[in-house]
Amino acid sequence: MRPAALLATLVALAGCGARGAAGPRDEAGAAPGPGPAATAGPGEVLTAEPQRPGDPARGWVRLVSEGYVGCGAPRSLYDRAFGPAPARWRLPGREGAGAELPYFANAFTTPAGVEVVTANCLGCHASFLRGELVIGLGDAALDFTGDLGPMLGVGALLVGDPAARAELARLTARVQAITPHVRTRTVGANPADHIAAVLFAHRDPATLAWSDEPRLPLAGGEPIPVDVPAWWLLRRKTAMFHTAAGRGDHARIMMTASVLCVDDVATARAIDAYFPDVRAFILSLGPPPFPAPIDRALARRGQAVFDRRCARCHGTYGAEGSYQTRVIPAAEVGTDPALAGHAGQFGAPFTAWFHRSFYGELSRLEPRAGYVAPPLDGVWATAPYLHNGSVQTLAELLDSHTRPTRAVLARGRDDYDLERVGWRSHPLADARDAAAEAGIDPRWILDATAPGSSNRGHTYGDRLDAEDRRALLEYLKSL
Ligand code: HEC
Ligand code: HEC
């Protein structure tokens, strides 16, 4: 049994990254434009920018041992509530205070001398797939549909030591600020982009000091669903995030997770000093191989289809492969436009905050009005598909007519389908039939008509004949 409440709380705490409005960009501050060669093909090509070098092995140790979010639940409380993690949840080889913690939690000691347990990045960026923990794979089964607050309130009653109580109070204040804005409709939808916006709103950009009242207007309504990209793709990309918003120094953007509880610039700078190592670790990851036999002859036929129909946006693969980070306007790719658009919570005030803050010293948030055509390495493992996770299998991705408007999601160990490649789901009749749906937990129903959830668009596979589509699917397994 997964302590879902703990995980949801902890991962909410490490909320990562941030968006800004896809509004008019400051062209003067934009990256140098691509040369003519780089633009041959659709969309805007984003060229690489300088990154700080780092050491991957050191980065891994930092990732699973440091307190980069700045606060957590007192260890005494954590141990009483959860005890040592089951073996399959532990990270092999992790020593010290974190040895008995689950992979998604770190232990560290705060400046006040209290040992706390907190979320690390792996809560969202690692996942079990067919029974094995894959580091870097976005977790498509995280549940942010609940309320994060009550558990912490109960916890406060259990903590006697005043310093530990103070740590818990700090954590509780942050969680209470976030909770009303990040509750999702469906399991698997990740609100990290909203969490970041809320936390920006509560801080002075110049000093990072926390204020209990938000300083920026926060839009109401449910967060737009976002799917967590696999970490192993970043080594191919020049911009972070689906909308290519993450420009400039990537390590600085990643350490924005510290916006939860790091309340001064000096502490943020100390964390930033080791984030180039964390980034180097992320860039050292590769995709897991497809775990079943592949029909090589069929895949070769599929490669020809891919090179004809797909490569102009997604690049080519294999030894001679080449990929460029291309942003395709949302209107052109036709997928849900909300994340790439002017959704209130991704409005200009948040990018403006970022650029005025410590985080904006080296980095920029410049969301485009479109989506990156992502590299497809290990795409077999990264279901659900599209930026909003609205398409459950590659078979559905390659034929938009087969995508159901409403479906019941499945995320169990045996629910990953290696034939259609992705998560199994059970389509529901389009007409809402209360009787038929009685007993189905609504948090597991994916409704493509909900805000930000459309599964339309990306119809590039629709006109393939059945044989070409079968070959293409086989090829995609091999990437
Ligand atoms: C609460 C869940 C959550 C946590 C915790 C989290 N992330 Fe993320 N991360 C996301 C989501 C969601 C996205 C995609 C956002 C988007 O594109 O709009 C993302 C995107 C990224 C990307 C960009 C990947 C790409 O291909 O564009 C990187 C790199 C990244 N996160 C690193 C980190 C690091 C490092 C940490 C810890 C310091 C972290 N994340 C913590 C949810 C999370
Ligand atoms: C005109 C450019 C373009 C063409 C051509 C194109 N794609 Fe895409 N593709 C995109 C964009 C942009 C996205 C991201 C859309 C989004 O997330 O909303 C995407 C997303 C995908 C994804 C989802 C990746 C993920 O992890 O979510 C897959 C798989 C994919 N494309 C495969 C293909 C295949 C196979 C073809 C050829 C039949 C193809 N694409 C043709 C632009 C293109």
**Rg of the Cα atoms in the chain:** 22
Name every residue whose Cβ is closer than 8 Å to that of residue 137 and which is 6 or more positions away in sequence: 125, 126, 127, 129, 230, 231, 288, 381, 382
471 contacts 305 by C-beta, under 8 angstroms: yes
Which whole-number Å values give the CA distances from 203 to 21, 148, 172, 193, 396, in the listed order?
A: 19, 21, 16, 16, 43
Give the tens place of pLDDT for each residue, 147-163.
Answer: 766 556 666 666 778 89
Compute the distance between CA of residue 332 and CA of residue 392 in angstroms, rounded to an integer. 22
> Residue whose CA is closest, atom 26 of ligand 2?
385
Instruction: From first to last of the 479 residues of the chain, give the pLDDT tens digit.
Output: 344 444 444 444 433 333 233 332 332 333 333 333 445 789 999 999 999 999 999 999 999 999 999 999 999 999 998 999 999 999 999 999 999 999 999 999 999 999 999 999 999 999 999 999 999 999 999 999 987 665 566 666 667 788 999 999 889 888 888 888 889 999 999 988 888 999 999 999 999 999 999 999 887 778 899 999 999 999 999 999 999 999 999 999 999 989 999 999 999 999 999 999 999 999 999 999 999 999 999 999 999 999 999 999 999 999 889 999 999 999 999 999 999 986 544 679 999 999 999 999 999 999 999 999 999 999 999 999 999 999 999 999 999 999 999 999 999 989 999 999 999 999 987 656 665 667 889 999 999 999 999 999 999 999 999 999 999 999 999 99
Tokens linked to 470: 């079968």
Residue ranges around ligand 1 (CB below 6 Å):
11, 14-17, 19, 68, 119, 121, 123-125, 190, 192-193, 226, 228-229, 233-234, 237, 240-242, 254, 257, 278, 282
Nearest to 464 by CA among 476, 453, 447, 455: 476
Burial letters 276-299, b for 16+ CB under 10 A, else e: bbbbbbbbbbebbebeeeeeeebb
Tokens linked to 466: 């059945």
Q: How many CA atoms lie within 13 A of 34 on its CB side?
A: 18
Nearest to 56 by CA among 258, 283, 267: 283
Distance from chain centroid for Cα 437? 30
Distance from chain centroid for Cα 329? 21
Name every residue whose Cβ is closer than 8 Å to that of residue 58 and which is 6 or more positions away in sequence: 274, 277
Compute the distance between CA of residue 250 and CA of residue 110 in angstroms, rounded to an integer. 26
Note the ligand closest to the C-alpha atom of 479: 2
The total of other beta-carbon atoms located within 10 Å of residue 361's CB is: 15
From the CA of 472, give the closest atom in ligand 2: 35
Compute the distance between CA of residue 129 and CA of residue 149 in angstroms, rounded to an integer. 29
Residue of 390, 460, 477, 479 to mutate, ligand 2, most atoms within 8 A of C-beta: 460
Residue of 313, 332, 462 to mutate, ligand 2, most atoms within 8 A of C-beta: 313
From the CA of 389, give the closest atom in ligand 2: 27
CA of 345 to the centre of ligand 1 (A): 17
421 contacts 383 by C-beta, under 8 angstroms: yes
Residue ranges around ligand 2 (CB below 6 Å):
42, 242, 309-310, 312-314, 328, 333, 335, 371, 373-374, 376, 379, 382, 385-387, 394, 397, 458, 460-461, 472
Compute the distance between CA of residue 479 and CA of residue 306 in angstroms, rounded to an integer. 11
Tokens linked to 91: 């990270």
CA of 18 to the centre of ligand 1 (A): 9
Compute the distance between CA of residue 309 and CA of residue 306 in angstroms, rounded to an integer. 5
Nearest to 357 by CA among 269, 433, 420, 455: 269
Nearest to 174 by CA among 342, 48, 13: 13
